[in-house]
Chain A
Amino acid sequence: MFIMRMIGVDVGGTFTDVIMVDSKTGIEYVHKVPSTPESQDKAVTKGVTEILEMNYINSQSIELVVHGTTVATNAMLERKGAKVVLLTTEGLEDVLEIGRQNRDDIYSLRAERAEPLVDRTNRIGVHERLNSEGKALIELTDATISSVISKATASQPDSIAVSLLFSYQNQEHERRLLKAINASSEVYAVASSNILPEFREFERTSTTVLEAYLGPLVAGYLQRLDTSLSSICPKSRLTVMQSNGGTMLASRAKGQTIGLAISGLASGAIGGWEYAKQWSIPRAITLDMGGTSCDISAIMGNVVVKPDNEVGGLPLRVPSVDVKTIGAGGGSIAWIDTASVLHVGPQSAGAFPGPAAYGKGGKDATVTDANLVLGRLNPEFFLGGNVPLDLDSAHESISKISSCLDLTNEETALGIIRISTANMVNAIREVTLERGSDPRKFTLIPFGGAGPTQAIDIAEALGINEVLVPPYPGITSALGLVCTDLRVDVMKTVLLVDDARNEETLLSTFSALENEAAERLIRQGASRKEIRLKWKIDMRYVGQSHELNIDIPEEGTNIVERSKSEFERAHHESFGYIMSNREIEWVTARVVAKSESGEFRPIKHRVNVTSEPIGQRRVLLADGTWMMADVYRRWDLAAKQEIVGPAIIEQLDTTTYVTPDWNATQENDGVLWLRRDER
């Protein structure tokens, strides 16, 4: 879809980043405002308003705003979602609590489970029962409906989740309950046959409950934002990043808010990977370190979308980009436990009061304070001078810790950086080493406001020799947003066993799904001719309960034969055998519809006069010695200019610290390469 002007807004724990792209001129505008965690939309509207004003852009010309939000993620992590009542088949009220009766770690003697999102008193049994074919063994009577609804609404919940046994076979009971709820109250209500029409009652119920838990908050937030943005940019649509790496229209989020569980995390991996693709890097670790958290993804070949995910101990049966997040950012607070051991994070000073050096009342020492004490940050040019840093306040905050540890402030600051680095290194090890891949074979792509300042510490600890710093590290996630495709996934369970009529049924199912997906994309602003559709079908041998996902090149006939032979090929490839005398089953037909965004255009770094350092600053090296480092401004560097460490490269949205043994090269597409000297 060709869009003249679009805006990407990525909300972090500390800053909200805004990027505006004009695809005609290829010019990008960037901006950053402090986040407003109590109501994320405030910072979003402020950022959008300001970027337009600062650059004299006519707000009428904005056609699309793409948004990455952490509202859902935070609600899950902090357990601050809605108050949910669950209606479920009588006798099975505890399914949600028992889960699958297993423990995560087989050798743990202290197995613990996440508290269920709905406590026992709010799990209400419904007198009804379907059998495995969807036929009613116990009819759902109107009297039952009115009695459970009065019970359910008595506790004044924010939302109601309905999950009945075998509803994926027959939606009727759930549909009648849902209809009655909607007729009698305004409460956010969802049914499992809409949210996840698949067998396995625990997974379906917990996913439905999660939708009810997130829905009122997330859908309400997006509605509010949509209203205020449309008064700023009247011709623009608001889309929001989904966990699966595609976007959807914000106004259609109701009933699909679980799809936004890691909305704000997915775009970083996508934005960082754009640079890896540009440089044909086969393996990259994207590291998005902002003020509050650090989002890490190890990417080999392409961004991976996993079929399920987990956030804060809550399982999610929703496709999600493979990202791991930890509480490590520039604002992470250093603290000492009762045994005099130093820790960093996961608590963050956020944007307010922020690190002690911000001088806004923060007293706790943070990673940013440590970086200032070590000379890595410029007190007059932090975030381009928008946030002046106060060295004395930083020292004061750190001295409280150093006196407990009997260390100097500088030693303590080094310790804070070492621990914060170790936290990120451990997370990277989890996504590489623990999956059997060698981190030394990856390129590190650090971004976010704090990533490039610590990138070499991390690379050194992992044995990585190459680091790619994107042109605007602070807004790389926002860039990921504007590089994202509009995407709609639709599915239908067919459960067909080999039969002559399958060809017809499959063809009509796919064409109905295609129409549905295309309609939904068009409503989001795609034009029909730009829509790309993909057919997939989940298949298995009759009797298995896990399927292989088979791609079918669309169009043409012979779906049955083509999918069968593709299934056999895939089964043989994955498992080493086929069963020629077993029947094959077609389980779920899926269509993925996408409309590609404007392609990623690398910027041009046009400076060709070699830049001299703007000054020098004393930095404390890891071994405790001070050294003078040259200080440069990133946009003054000439294309292909090489800088030898120790050096500091400052820019509006971040500071890159180059240690001795490393050198930096500014490339003419804006990327800054850091490379280690031969070991």
Chain B
Amino acid sequence: MIEDPISFEVIKNALISCAREMSQALRRTAFSPNIKERRDCSCALFDKDGHLIAQSKDIPVHLGAMPLSVKSCIRALDRNLEEGTMALLNDPYSGGSHLPDLTLVAPVFVEGERVAFTANRAHHADIGGVSPGSMPGLSTSIHEEGVIIKPRIIVENDNLQKHAITDILSGTLTPDERIGDLSAQIAANHVGIARLREVGNIHQWPDLIRTFQELQDYSANRMRNALAKYKGQTASFSDTLDSDGAGNWEIPISVSLTISNAGAIVDFQGTSEQVNGNVNCPIASTLSSVYYVFIALFGKDIPVNEGCWSVIEVKIPEGSLLNPMYPAAVSAGNVETSQRIVDVTLGAFSEIAPNLVPAASQGTMNNLTIGGIDPRIGKAFSFYETIGGGSGASKGNEGASGIHTHMTNTLNTPIESLETEYPLMVHAYSIRKGTGGDGQWRGGDGIIREIEIRGEGCTISIQSERRRSQPWGLNGGGNGESGRNALVYEGKVHALEAKSTVLAPNGAIVRIETPGGGGWGPPASD
């Protein structure tokens, strides 16, 4: 029972505001375009056990995965997480997702007692490894993907301890930018701690801490009630990943759903074993993708916190594509496989709740990384971005064109930022007309983006999907068109694979054409 509904609402929103202000501080103080312009970062608050209690609406794949990071810090460091410290991690095998995502966790103390945590995750544009940008097209072991950071304290007495990050700074191509971005992450936690203290002072700490639990119970109840309508129903669905970049093609992902009184069981039995390439998806990212689907379908108005997920049981065999074992390569799992997990889970729900579920969206993030030496200043650079595509149509709504869908919501890099900061030039940025699936409601169209490399010896890495398969339509709607990657040099077009790493000559243009979304309902016959 909620004792005081108005205070409950005030506190709930005050906590969300804390998280939002953290996000603002993070991007306002960040140095790399991927964070300051594209906002590839997320912030949230946790109770003393690492349960999510409030989040800023940032990047879905980050948000659902962060609780495991916080819990992993608590487990690994426990008492060392003293007042004024913050802990960093990126290890996908202890609460991380892929190596470029650095998560910084800070305890919040009140009168000597640890009562909560703030945490934020930001995608760093380079963290070492075999190719600039740490998103290699073809890696087969996590050791090729960058510096692995197990939970470790890097801030003491509120200050960054440079000696604690020497391996990171020597591993990366861009150490100055890393320090700048880490400082921004520290700033975000400082802001979160300060704001949370204000909320605690206004509402009294014991009440606030009680509300942490009330919030989770409330959301769990609401989610259970939302699912109750479908109890006793089961469904299953399968789809594939195009490739792993290491010789495996059409890698299956299967799911079966069971809805009961207690909630839902999501079972990935039938999914591929872990593979050699880098599409293995760490468990935190897998869970995050499943949770996203439940919130998107049933969570309207339900405050997002750990309670929502407590009614969902996810079964993933160890050593599978969606719960890989060390030292599997994982860099594309978080960004590409996560999208397919959403597709199959939504696909299964389309059998149970056909009118709620949209056709498949582009099903990829189109990760593009370019690195090398900037001839204008003679220093190394590393550029990373993801590119929107078509969203799937749904009953009553056309899909949107050129938009990010499902597990990401990063902004584009403004061309004026991109060309100022990197030796690159954008030749085209346009809607890829006619690529959305046909239907009573049409899928959204993809994007065409062309970027010229204006420097010698730059490396281009691409991690993309839906280059062979197509985003499916629903209820008779047509499929969206597949995407395409190419390198254009001296007038010749060279097709590139879905996962590629290539050395590009000066003047080469990389062209990414992103998939359209599926259509919904049969097209008008005339």
Contact = CB atoms under 8 A, between A and B. Distances in A.
Nearest to B25: A575
Contacts of A541: 31, 180
Nearest to A576: B190
Interface string B290-303: 00100111011000
B191 interface: yes
A227 interface: no
A556 interface: no
Given A100-B411, A107-B292, A574 B299 contact: no
B217 interface: no
A542 to B, nearest CB: 9
Given A94-B429, A433-B9, A545 B412 contact: no
A434 B13 CA distance: 5
Contacts of A113: 400, 403
Contacts of A109: 296-297, 356-358, 394
A120 B429 CA distance: 13
Interface stretch (B328-336, B420-428, B484-492): B420-428
Contact of B183 (A434, A438, A577): A577
Interface string A468-499: 00000000000000000000000000000000
B110 interface: no
B424 to A, nearest CB: 10
A142 interface: no
B108 to A, nearest CB: 14
Interface string B168-204: 0000000011001001101100110010000100000
A567 B10 CA distance: 33
A98 B186 contact: no
A463 interface: yes
A412 to B, nearest CB: 28
B479 interface: no
A185 interface: no
A440 to B, nearest CB: 7
B57 A105 contact: yes
A206 to B, nearest CB: 12
A106 B411 contact: no
Interface residues of A, number: 51
Nearest to A430: B13
Interface residues of B, number: 77
A641 B427 CA distance: 74
Which residue of A112, A199, A437, A545 has the most chain B CB atoms within 10 A of its CB atom? A545
A546 B159 CA distance: 23
B10 A111 contact: no
A45 B386 CA distance: 55
B430 interface: yes
B6 A577 contact: no
A137 B425 CA distance: 11
A338 B299 CA distance: 26
Contact of B403 (A111, A201, A434, A579): A111
A393 B158 CA distance: 71
Contacts of B415: 92, 95, 165, 201
Given A544-B29, A544-B31, A546-B27, A101 B6 contact: no
A97 B356 CA distance: 27
A551 B46 CA distance: 36
B461 interface: no
A113 B187 CA distance: 33
A637 to B, nearest CB: 34
B431 A575 contact: no
B400 A97 contact: no
Contact of A97 (B13, B402, B412): B402
Given A91-B427, A102-B403, A131-B419, A436 B36 contact: no
B337 interface: no
A544 B10 contact: no
A63 B416 CA distance: 47
A106 B60 contact: yes
A112 B392 CA distance: 11
A202 B413 CA distance: 10
Contact of A92 (B16, B295, B429): B429
A119 B76 CA distance: 56
A55 interface: no
Interface string B1-27: 000001101100111110000000101
A201 B13 contact: no
Interface string B400-443: 11111100011110111101100001111111000000000000
A103 B400 contact: yes
A571 B31 CA distance: 15
A322 interface: no
Which residue of A101, A107, A132, A165 has the most chain B CB atoms within 10 A of its CB atom? A101
A106 B57 contact: yes
A157 B456 CA distance: 46
B512 to A, nearest CB: 13
Contacts of B191: 574-576
A124 to B, nearest CB: 14
Contacts of B194: 576
Given A98-B431, A111-B405, A113-B400, A545 B10 contact: no
B31 to A, nearest CB: 4
Nearest to B24: A546
Contacts of B404: 101-103
B58 interface: yes
Nearest to A200: B414
Which residue of A111, A168, A200, A436 has the most chain B CB atoms within 10 A of its CB atom? A436
Contacts of B199: 436
B419 A544 contact: no
B162 to A, nearest CB: 11
A425 B186 CA distance: 38
A576 B28 CA distance: 13
B190 A577 contact: yes
A95 B429 CA distance: 7
Contacts of B428: 91-92
A108 interface: yes
A616 to B, nearest CB: 36
Interface in A98-146: 98, 100-103, 105-113, 120, 131-132, 137
A358 interface: no
Contacts of B187: 574-577
Nearest to A101: B388
Contacts of A650: none
B269 interface: no
Nearest to B39: A102
A107 B296 contact: yes
A436 B28 contact: no
A575 B296 CA distance: 33
B120 interface: no
B402 A94 contact: yes
A98 B17 contact: no
A543 B39 CA distance: 15
Contacts of B431: 94, 97-98, 120
Contacts of B396: 110
Interface string A162-193: 00011010000000000000000000000000
A436 B13 contact: yes
A541 B31 CA distance: 9
B394 A110 contact: yes
Contacts of A41: none
A102 B414 CA distance: 13
Given A92-B428, A93-B430, A199-B414, 14 more contacts: A95-B429, A98-B429, A103-B404, A107-B299, A109-B394, A110-B397, A111-B400, A132-B416, A168-B416, A433-B9, A543-B177, A544-B28, A546-B36, A576-B190
11 contacts: A101-B388, A103-B405, A105-B57, A106-B57, A109-B297, A131-B419, A137-B425, A200-B417, A541-B31, A544-B180, A574-B25
A-B pairs, 6 with minimum CB distance:
A576-B190, A436-B14, A575-B187, A101-B388, A546-B28, A132-B420
Interface of A: 91-95, 97-98, 100-103, 105-113, 120, 131-132, 137, 165-166, 168, 199-202, 433-438, 440, 463, 541, 543-546, 571, 574-577, 579, 582
